[in-house]
A and B are shown apart, each in its own frame.
Chain A
Amino acid sequence: MKQMEMLAMILAGGRGSRLKSLTSKIAKPAVSFGGRYRIIDFPLSNCANSGLDVVGVLTQYEPVFLSSYVSQGRYWGLDSRDSGVYAIAPREKADAELDVYKGTADAITQNIDFIDAYNPEYLLVLSGDHIYKMNYAKMLAYHKEHKSDATIAVIGVPMKEASRFGIMNADENDKIYEFQEKPEHPKSNLASMGIYIFTWKILRKLLLADAKNEESSHDFGKDIIPALMNAGRNVYAYRFKGYWKDVGTIDSLWEANMDLLDHSSELNLSDYSWRIYSEDPTDLPQYIGPDAEIDTAYITQGCRVDGKVVNSVLFTNAHVAEGAVVKDTVLMPGAKVGEGAKVTRALVANDVVIGKGAKIGSANSPEILLVDQDVKGVE
């Protein structure tokens, strides 16, 4: 095997409990998004498009479905000779009991053997929770150009929201001198995107030291990045411009889906040169019936529309029956809206059936209505 330049590890163990029942059976990275995708298709497609070959996916919460999904490396073309996607859950070892990953850094530390087997020069650490398109090869070029030891992708956020993020304070050359986790009084608006490139040899030493430190929370942001700076290592911010969203709540998940309706949105999934890859369903193309009305919508394969769809996103196999009106709504895979039903400003979960004539949601609700149970029809 050729010397590997960069290996990717995706942190995909989180539950995403603010997504309520959507993550009661599956991990957040496996949640459906954008009609035909799952959230983890974004980092995996970015890896494939950036020319990476091997991706480790670190699972923990509800790993069964997520593991079986990411194991299909062919979905992203990550299945050639030296390529693969490997789901890795916490494990029992000869010298250690079965234990959970104690932090983001610990998840990497516990799998140093996996990384060593590929002997990469650089390690890319990603989160499996975000919607964005990014060329990691460009970030690696930046890392090399700056003789950086750790490079952190950052995005400018509105100053008033900065206290929700991990904030990087950098000098005029974008060299980071301070990291603040969710600061009350942020000094800058450069938020960490949870995307790191490390020179592997340096990180490896630091991780082993951190593992022995009982004071440490074994977290990249809180422990590893500060330790690198304390050791006088070069830590640089890599400025990203473009669409990036943490779809951590029902409202933000709904909103990110709605962003797809806007042709001027930075999230353009129709760019053929940077496609987001996903599983390949065998369903028919979408059928738009003789009495259908569609005004501003994002609709995918397997859908059937006989009613009215306004400003909405329909996922694989969603159906809208005659006389039904679906407005400002996300219908997740297999959701069915019965004849004459009205759904407004809602996110309807997978396979939920809205009965005939039912009316749910309201145009001026402060929050998006999550519909995760079948709704009885009105006869």
Chain B
Amino acid sequence: MPRALGIVTPSGNNMKVHGMDFYRPISAFSFLGRYRIVDFPVSNMSNSDIEHIQVYVSQNPRSLAEHLGTGRTYNINSKRGRLQLLFNQDSKVNEIYNTDIRAFADNIDQIELASEPYVIISPGYMIFKEDYNDLLREHVASGADVTLLYHKVDNADKSFRNCRTIGLNRQKGIKSIGWNDGAIPEANIFMDTYVMTKELFLKLIRKAQKISSVYRLVDIINEENDELDIRGLSHKGYFNAITDFKSYYDANIEMLDFDKAKDLFTDEWPIYTVTTDSCPVRYAKGSKVKNSVVANGCIVEGTVENSIIGRGVEIRKGASVKNCVILGHAKIGEGAKLEHQVVDKWAKIINVKKLIATADNPGYIKRGDTL
């Protein structure tokens, strides 16, 4: 079995999650109360026996750096294996330079030095389970130059905005790569996941830089489509992308469907994350909890319905939290009524007693704010 270097890429600069991404990149967003989005690509790679993983960060690296650490949490051997956090140099000049190609070019020696003959590139803003061993095996067997992973969806008109779509010919060759303009529900959403040799990858980085300083990897792949044998491979199972605030809220709420959660989280394919050694949840007398996911360390005295509650959250007497995503260590004070809100970490809702929004347009409370 050939070996591959695992590369986790940041989201493109067209993806904005207003409010939340001021504090951290999408890959460091909290998911389902205890995970971060980056846990999915890194766990996928670790479970696929990829021992060398590079995570590229384009902004606010603190939360990701703290979270990933040495990679021990992800079952990466601390001697043989390696989890690298890599930064790009001049993202401050103008955001348009903030591309994945720029990030790779700034760290090209780190890619050249890697001993693995193949690269598997996967994004830090999508949620799915994938065995990269199978992917690499199929790629090698097919003889293709590049294999792209895609997911056939029937809700592209409502979701997956800012994602790319791919058109395929009969031999699963790539016909075109375009934008999801939301015109039709059926689409092959490109999962920003690539397999190729390291040699070709390095060649494409250099070529892209010569053509345009704002090219992304997907652009050079699109341009080389006539010269290279580029094929698509269909992904099965749960798939979601965090590309804006609404999709972040929806992806969390969707996990209340236990069957969907069981598809994504299986015993044979653990999703690793960092422990905080939080104690179990204490439900006080008079608490009412229905259809919710609650992470450890919480104290629940009030009502919780259809919500995702992060670690160490306090929901005090008479408070009511419905259809909300509450991030870690937030406090919902006595008598506060919240509907359709995303409450960021460490926020306190004490003085304001009513925060009501709708499913189509959920509200957002900033990190550490006291209301």
Contact = CB atoms under 8 A, between A and B. Distances in A.
Interface of A: 34-36, 74, 260-261, 263, 269-270, 272, 275-278, 280, 282, 284-301, 304, 313-314
Interface of B: 32-34, 72-73, 258, 261, 265, 270-272, 275, 277-297, 299, 304, 312
Contacts of B297: 270
A298 B282 contact: yes
A314 B294 CA distance: 14
Contacts of B278: 270, 275
A295 B286 contact: yes
Contacts of A297: 282-283
B283 A270 contact: no
A278 B297 CA distance: 14
Contacts of A285: 32-34, 293-296
Nearest to A269: B279
A290 B290 contact: yes
A288 B305 CA distance: 9
Contact of B294 (A35, A263, A276, A286): A286
Contacts of A272: 312
Given A35-B280, A276-B277, A292 B32 contact: no
12 contacts: A269-B279, A276-B279, A282-B270, A285-B33, A286-B294, A286-B295, A288-B290, A290-B290, A292-B291, A296-B283, A298-B280, A298-B283
Contacts of A263: 282, 284, 299
A277 B287 contact: no
Nearest to B287: A294
B197 to A, nearest CB: 33
A261 B296 contact: no
Contact of B279 (A35, A287, A294): A35
Given A286-B293, A296-B283, 4 more contacts: A260-B282, A300-B281, A300-B296, A304-B258
A299 B280 contact: yes
A292 B277 contact: no
A209 B261 CA distance: 63
Contacts of A275: 277-279
Given A36-B296, A270-B297, A290-B291, A284 B280 contact: no
A278 B289 CA distance: 27
A165 B14 CA distance: 69
Contacts of B286: 295
A39 to B, nearest CB: 15
A295 B287 contact: yes
B281 A282 contact: no
Contacts of B72: 74
B290 A291 contact: yes
A285 B258 CA distance: 11
Contact of A299 (B261, B265, B277, B283): B283
Given A270-B297, A282-B270, A295-B285, A288 B280 contact: no
A13 to B, nearest CB: 27
Nearest to B311: A285
B281 A299 contact: yes
A36 B283 contact: no
Top 3 nearest A-B pairs (CB, nearest first) are A35-B280, A300-B280, A269-B279
A52 B279 CA distance: 22
A286 B307 CA distance: 12
Contacts of A288: 289-294, 304
Contacts of A301: 34, 280, 295-296
Nearest to B274: A280
A297 B258 CA distance: 22
A286 B258 contact: no
